[in-house]
């Protein structure tokens, strides 16, 4: 029997890692060559990997949700007799044991108090009950030796001995009985009682614990104490805070009713795959390329009329047509007139592309993706419409191949689809220009000296000022606007 191990391949240019989304097989399954065995997510898209071997799945070497570097082993397949599930073949790596689920949030100590470490991990939720210290009863009162008690009060010359005897010598409240006979007895008794009350109510705790409780807004008297002589320890405070956070999580909130105590009010979403790649690229672009943005309002009434005519045309039957199609064609046309906006800054030189790989920013459930239409300058209006529809459908399904995410030269982002008038887009890395297409809606517009309702949109463009200066960016945006104002110019 031959045991073969399949290593994660590089499914795109320059990719170094991928996330295991879901396994399509399990240990003991029989697979043939080219059977889909796993779905992975790269920085570009979702990809299904076929098996390069035929045989029986011996072991799944990584778990779903795990990030794996290119070249790492992910599955082993034995050629020959079927392997028994759960029993590794000789020389085969064992299937990793499942990672234990993390403890529920109500069992986690407060990070503000513990940081990390084995002691912090061992802290568990404790019930709110007063526990006596080991070897002694719970302190219901201060020990007698620590409580100051007044002795017999001195008699005055005018007072008989029997009167002095009426003042109790064991408890403070009895001093009130002689208030009318001995001046100052009531005040002395009140002072002693106040001192006694303070002593009884004061919670024992070290200064760092008191400060932590103050910072957290916790009354130390509410914290069950387990230290010597009823002292509130740091671990007591940690347990109380964890219990309080759990109770808060279990309560209904503005966002949703709580279903489980473990459901905290802060949702944690791992940053990986497309979102991680997008975040890295946008930060790099924003702080590397000096952006300059300009905006222009456009009367797109004739574009709207043109779109309606295309929808009614038999040539476009069954093809979705929108104003984005006209904008895409306008960008291609304007870039041909201003070639430097379709370029790349390479440090020592500027690479002007004499072809257009038009990127279309697409919002998907997996994050922002920018697939591009290759050689868009060679497509007719109908072919461009078909390409746009195919690109959008594939992106929303998360099936965009890595090749379609590479090599873009200029990008369009349709923020108008979300009802936004305009914005300041960030340039896609490797490019020097991006155009934002705002919503089209009727607004008052001056035509021939009269104010009339027209379909108006706002275009926003961002440019890398190392390549595209103010004059060039203005001319490019003016050319794009001219097509939206009069699509017939495309016939020239």
What's the per-residue H, E or C state across 385-441? HHHHHHHHHHHHCCCCCHHHHCCCCEEEECHHHHCCCCCCCCCCCCCCEEEEECCCE
Secondary structure of residue 467 in the 3-state scheme: coil
Query: Phi first, then psi: what are they for 100, rounded to 5°?
Result: -60, 140
Quote the CA–CA distance of 48 and 23 in Å, as a whole number. 10
In the 8-state DSSP scheme, what is residue 232? B
Contact call for residues 42 and 8 (beta carbons, < 8 A): no
Quote the CA–CA distance of 233 and 373 in Å, as a whole number. 65
Which H or E element spans position 460?
Answer: strand 450-464
The separation between the first and the last C-alpha atoms of the chain, rounded to the nearest angstrom, is: 70
Query: Phi first, then psi: what are they for 407, rounded to 5°?
Result: 80, 15
| Class of residue 58 by CB neighbours under 10 A (exposed 0-12, middle 13-18, buried 19+) | buried
Whether 465 sits among the annotated catalytic residues: the reply is yes
- Residue matched to tokens 């952006």: 291
Contact call for residues 176 and 186 (beta carbons, < 8 A): yes
| Class of residue 468 by CB neighbours under 10 A (exposed 0-12, middle 13-18, buried 19+) | buried
Quote the tokens at residue 366: 């997996």
Quote the CA–CA distance of 453 and 260 in Å, as a whole number. 54
Quote the CA–CA distance of 125 and 104 in Å, as a whole number. 10
| Class of residue 227 by CB neighbours under 10 A (exposed 0-12, middle 13-18, buried 19+) | middle
Quote the CA–CA distance of 212 and 99 in Å, as a whole number. 34
Quote the CA–CA distance of 206 and 138 in Å, as a whole number. 20
Query: Phi first, then psi: what are they for 368, rounded to 5°?
Result: -75, 130
Choice among 7, 291, 354, 465 that is catalytic = 465
Contact call for residues 126 and 243 (beta carbons, < 8 A): yes
Question: CB under 8 Å, gap of 24 or more: what pairs does 380-383 form?
Answer: 381/310, 381/325, 381/329, 381/490, 382/315, 382/316, 382/319
Quote the tokens at residue 475: 């001319």
Which residues are identified as catalytic? 465
């Amino acid at each position: 029997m031959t045991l073969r191990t399949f290593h994660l391949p590089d499914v795109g240019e320059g990719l170094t890692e991928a996330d295991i989304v879901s396994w399509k097989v399990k240990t003991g399954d029989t697979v043939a060559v080219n059977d889909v065995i796993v779905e992975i997510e790269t920085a570009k898209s979702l990809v299904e990997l076929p098996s390069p071997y035929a045989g029986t799945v011996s072991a799944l070497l990584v778990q779903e949700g795990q990030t794996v570097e290119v070249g790492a082993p992910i599955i082993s397949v034995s050629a020959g007799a079927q392997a028994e599930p759960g029993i590794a073949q000789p020389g085969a790596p064992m299937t990793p044991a499942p990672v234990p689920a993390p403890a529920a949030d109500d069992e986690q100590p407060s990070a503000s108090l513990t940081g990390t470490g084995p002691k912090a991990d061992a802290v568990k939720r404790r019930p709110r009950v007063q526990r006596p210290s080991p070897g002694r009863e719970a302190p219901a009162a201060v020990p007698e030796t620590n409580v100051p008690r007044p002795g017999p009060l001195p008699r005055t010359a005018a007072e008989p001995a029997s009167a002095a005897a009426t003042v109790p010598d064991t408890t403070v409240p009895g001093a009130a009985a002689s208030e009318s006979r001995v001046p100052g007895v009531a005040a002395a008794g009140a002072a002693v009682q106040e001192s006694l009350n303070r002593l009884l109510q004061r919670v024992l705790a070290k200064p760092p614990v008191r400060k932590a409780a103050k910072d957290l807004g916790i009354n130390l008297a509410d914290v069950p104490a387990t230290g010597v002589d009823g002292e509130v320890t740091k671990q007591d405070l940690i347990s109380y805070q964890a219990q309080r956070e759990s109770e808060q999580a279990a309560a209904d909130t503005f966002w949703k009713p709580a279903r489980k105590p473990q459901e905290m009010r802060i949702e944690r979403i791992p940053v990986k795959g497309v979102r991680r790649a997008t975040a890295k690229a946008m930060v790099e672009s924003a702080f590397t390329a000096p952006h300059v943005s300009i905006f222009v309002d456009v009367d797109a009434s004739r574009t709207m009329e043109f779109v309606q005519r295309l929808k009614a045309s038999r040539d476009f039957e069954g093809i979705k047509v929108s104003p984005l199609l006209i904008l895409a064609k306008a960008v291609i046309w304007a870039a041909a007139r201003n070639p430097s906006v379709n370029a790349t800054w390479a440090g020592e030189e500027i690479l002007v592309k004499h072809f257009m790989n038009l990127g279309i920013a697409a919002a998907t459930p997996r994050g922002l993706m920018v697939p591009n239409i290759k050689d868009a300058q060679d497509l007719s209006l109908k072919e461009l419409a078909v390409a746009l529809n195919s690109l959008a459908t594939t992106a929303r399904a998360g099936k965009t191949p890595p090749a379609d995410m590479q090599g873009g030269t200029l990008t369009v982002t349709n923020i108008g689809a979300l009802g936004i008038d305009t914005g300041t887009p960030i340039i896609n890395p490797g490019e020097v220009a991006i155009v934002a297409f705002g919503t089209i809606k009727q607004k008052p517009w001056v035509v021939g000296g009269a104010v009339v309702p027209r379909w108006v949109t706002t275009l926003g463009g961002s440019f890398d000022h190392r390549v595209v200066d103010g004059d060039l960016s203005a001319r490019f945006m003016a050319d794009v606007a001219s097509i939206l104002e009069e699509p017939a110019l495309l016939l020239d």
